[in-house]
Structure 1
Amino acid sequence: MSWGEIAGLVAAGAAVVFVALCAVPLWKLGGVMDELRLSVRKLGEGTTPILDELKGTVSTTTQEISRLSEVTEELAKMSHSASTMTEQAANVSTVVSTPLVKTAEVVGRTATAARDVGRRVQERRPRRQATAQAQLGAQPHVGRGDVPQPPDSLGRTSEHDLDHEQGQL
C-alpha cells in the first residue's frame, strides 16, 4: 500500500468518525423534535376544552351584555317617565293648591267677618233693649204679647234672661 492509499484510508476513517460525531447530535435533535411534537399535541388536546369553555363564556357574556343594554334602556325610559310624572304632579299640585288656598282664604275671611258681625250684634242688643225699655216707660220686658210668662224651673221669666245666660248678648 502506498502512502496515497493510506492517506485515503485515514481520510475515509476521519470522514466516518466525523459523520458518527455529527449523527449523535442529530439523533438527539430528532428526539427533541419528537418530544416537541408530543408537547404540541398535548397542548392542543388541553387547549380545545378551554377554548370550548371560553366560547361558551363569551356567548353567555354577550347575552348578558345585551340584557344589560335592555335593562339600561328600560331604566332610561323609567327615569323619563318618573321625571314626567314629577312634572305632572307639580302641575296638579299647582292647579289644585291655588284654588284650595284661595278657598281657604275666602272661608277664613268669611268666618272673621261673621265673628265681627256677631260681636257687633251682641254689642247693640243691650242698647236696643235699654232703648225699648225706656220707650215703654222703664218696664221690664215680660215676654211675648205683653203677657207675663210663668217662671221656668230655674226661675227665669223672660227671653232676655235666657239669651243672657246662653251668652248671646
Structure 2
Amino acid sequence: MSAGDIAGLIAAVAFVALVAFLAVPILKLGKLIDDTRGTVQGVTQETIPLLHEVTTTVTTTNGELERVSAITTNVQQVTTNVSALTALFAATLGSPVIKVAAFTYGVRQALSGREPSSGGRRRRRKG
C-alpha cells in the first residue's frame, strides 16, 4: 500500500463519516415533513365540514334577516296607517269634542252661578 492509497482510504472514511453525520438531520427533517403533511391533512379534513356548516348557518341567517326585514316593513306601514288615522280622528272629531266640552263646562258654570276658577281649584262660598 502506498501513501496515496492510504490518503485515499482516509479520505473515503472521512467522506462516509461526513455523509453519516449529515444523514441524521436529513432523516429528522423528513420525519418533520411527514408530521407536517399529516397535520395539514387533518386540518383540511376538519375545515371542509366546518366551512359547509358555516355556509349553512349564513344561508339560514340570511333567510331569517329577510323575514325580519319583511316584519319591519309591515310594522312601519302599520305605524304610518295608525298615524294617519289618529290625525284624521283629531281633525274630524277632536275639535268638535273640545268645543262641546268647553261649552258644557261654561253652561255648568253659568247654571251653578259660579265664576270659573283659576288653577283648577274650586272656591268655597262662606255662608
Q: TM-score, normalised by structure 2?
A: 0.71
Q: Which amino acid aligns with 2:79?
A: S
Q: Which SS does the other structure have where 2:22 is aligned?
A: helix
Report the CA distance between 1:102 and its aligned residue.
8.5
Cross-structure match for 1:54: 54
Instruction: Give, in whole Å, the separation in 2 of the partners of 1:14 and 1:65.
Output: 74
Q: Which SS does the other structure have where 1:48 is aligned?
A: helix
The alignment status of 1:12 with 2:3, answered yes or no, reads no
Report the CA distance between 1:104 and its aligned residue.
5.4
Q: Which amino acid aligns with 2:31?
A: G
Q: TM-score, normalised by structure 1?
A: 0.55
Q: Which amino acid aligns with 1:6?
A: I
Cross-structure match for 2:116: none
Cross-structure match for 2:88: 88
Instruction: Give, in whole Å, the separation in 1 of the partners of 2:102 and 2:24.
Output: 112
Matches within 5 A, 1:15-164: 15-94=15-94, 96-97=96-97, 100=100
Instruction: Give, in whole Å, the separation in 1 of the partners of 2:98 and 2:46.
Output: 77
Instruction: Give structure 2 stretches of 5+ with no counterpart.
Output: 112-127
Report the CA distance between 1:61 and its aligned residue.
0.9
Identical-pair percentage: 35
Report the CA distance between 1:18 and its aligned residue.
0.8
Q: How many residues align?
A: 108
Q: Greater Rg, structure 1 or structure 2?
A: 1
Q: Give the alignment's Cα RMSD to 1 decimal.
A: 2.4
